[in-house]
């Protein structure tokens, strides 16, 4: 995902999700390629890997609002698009508020260096930002204090993305595989492997449109007898963690950004040790709030 500075910061759309087998997905892609093209921000086949660090309240309010079907709900995440380059504290990441209002999905996001995103989300300190990003930065700041949000779960998967041509502008079709999660030590920069969220032969397909699904695509969905599913990757990660005897849910730990970046598995701390650098300990983030 290159040229992040040119990526849309705000949009509304409808999202539809389907659960397919690998065989179903490949058959569907064969028909799709006559109407769509690979995502221009990915490789030639539209593939890339991404990981998202989700924040939630100590009582998992964002999770519960989703499960309960609350019509107006939000969630906060730091999203990383993996490029193969070394991930450092200066690597740009997306800081996103994803909001659901009835059937419409709304997303507001900004791009910050990883360390600055952590400083905002973990330390409650507003970083330097572009004037156009002021509204979303302030919204995130209030959201963090309102729910006492803290790091909860990391979801990682491989995505193959296609976009519509000029005749179907706004259309986006994605296929997600190898979905995994990590709830213990949810540090986005650490490369420890996650645990599977779904069977390896299943694919999550998402259709995203600004207004309506093209007629040819509704015909294709019907021909393949696909059924809509209500599936939240974040919620699946929480449920998977809760269902593992060795990972019964516990009180979420609130770590300051320096603690995260200097974690024992961090590439940053390894570099600092080699250079003889020692960080000063910061005051722990307040755990107060509703």
Question: DSSP for 69-99?
Answer: T-SEEEEEEEEEEE-SS---TTSEEEEEEEE
The reported pTM is 0.86
Closest among 122, 167, 156 to 140, alpha carbons compared: 122
**CA torsion, ordered 83, 49, 209, 221, to nearest 10 deg:** 140
pLDDT of residue 165: 92
Q: How far apart are CA 263 and CA 72, in angstroms?
A: 36
pLDDT of residue 281: 37
Coil, strand or helix at 36: strand
Q: How far apart are CA 283 and CA 100, in angstroms?
A: 35
Beta strands in the chain (DSSP E): 10-21, 36-38, 47-56, 72-82, 92-101, 104-113, 150-164, 172-182, 195-196, 202-209
pLDDT of residue 174: 97
Closest among 244, 247, 234 to 67, alpha carbons compared: 234
Closest among 113, 189, 181, 109 to 152, alpha carbons compared: 181
Ranges of the chain whose pLDDT falls below 50: 1-6, 265, 270-271, 273-275, 278-290
pLDDT of residue 185: 81
Q: Which residue has the tokens 């701390």?
A: 269
Q: How far apart are CA 134 and CA 72, in angstroms?
A: 23
Q: How far apart are CA 14 and CA 24, in angstroms?
A: 23
């Amino acid at each position: 995902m290159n040229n992040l500075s040119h990526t849309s910061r705000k949009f509304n759309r409808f999202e539809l999700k389907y659960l397919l087998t690998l065989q179903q997905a490949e058959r569907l892609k064969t028909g799709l390629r006559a109407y769509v093209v690979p995502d221009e921000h990915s490789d030639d086949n539209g593939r890339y890997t991404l990981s998202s660090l989700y924040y939630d309240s100590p009582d998992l309010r964002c999770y519960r609002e989703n499960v309960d079907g609350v019509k107006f709900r939000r969630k906060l995440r730091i999203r990383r698009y993996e490029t193969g380059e070394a991930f450092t504290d200066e690597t740009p990441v997306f800081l996103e508020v994803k909001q659901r209002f009835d059937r419409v999905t709304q997303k507001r996001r900004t791009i910050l260096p990883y360390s600055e995103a952590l400083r905002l989300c973990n330390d409650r300190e507003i970083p330097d930002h572009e004037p156009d990003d002021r509204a979303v930065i302030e919204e995130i700041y209030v959201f963090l204090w309102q729910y006492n949000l803290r790091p909860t779960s990391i979801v990682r998967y491989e995505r193959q993305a296609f976009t519509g041509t000029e005749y179907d502008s706004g259309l986006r079709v994605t296929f997600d595989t190898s979905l995994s999660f990590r709830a213990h030590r949810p540090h986005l920069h650490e490369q420890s492997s996650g645990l599977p969220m779904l069977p390896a032969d299943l694919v999550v397909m998402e259709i995203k449109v600004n207004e309506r699904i093209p007629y040819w695509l509704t015909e294709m969905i019907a021909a393949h007898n696909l059924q809509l599913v209500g599936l939240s990757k974040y919620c699946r990660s929480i449920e998977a963690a809760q269902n593992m005897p060795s990972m019964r849910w516990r009180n979420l730990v609130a770590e300051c950004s320096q603690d995260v970046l200097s974690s024992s598995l961090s590439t940053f701390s390894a570099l600092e040790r080699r250079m003889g650098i020692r960080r000063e300990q910061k005051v722990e983030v307040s755990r107060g709030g509703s």
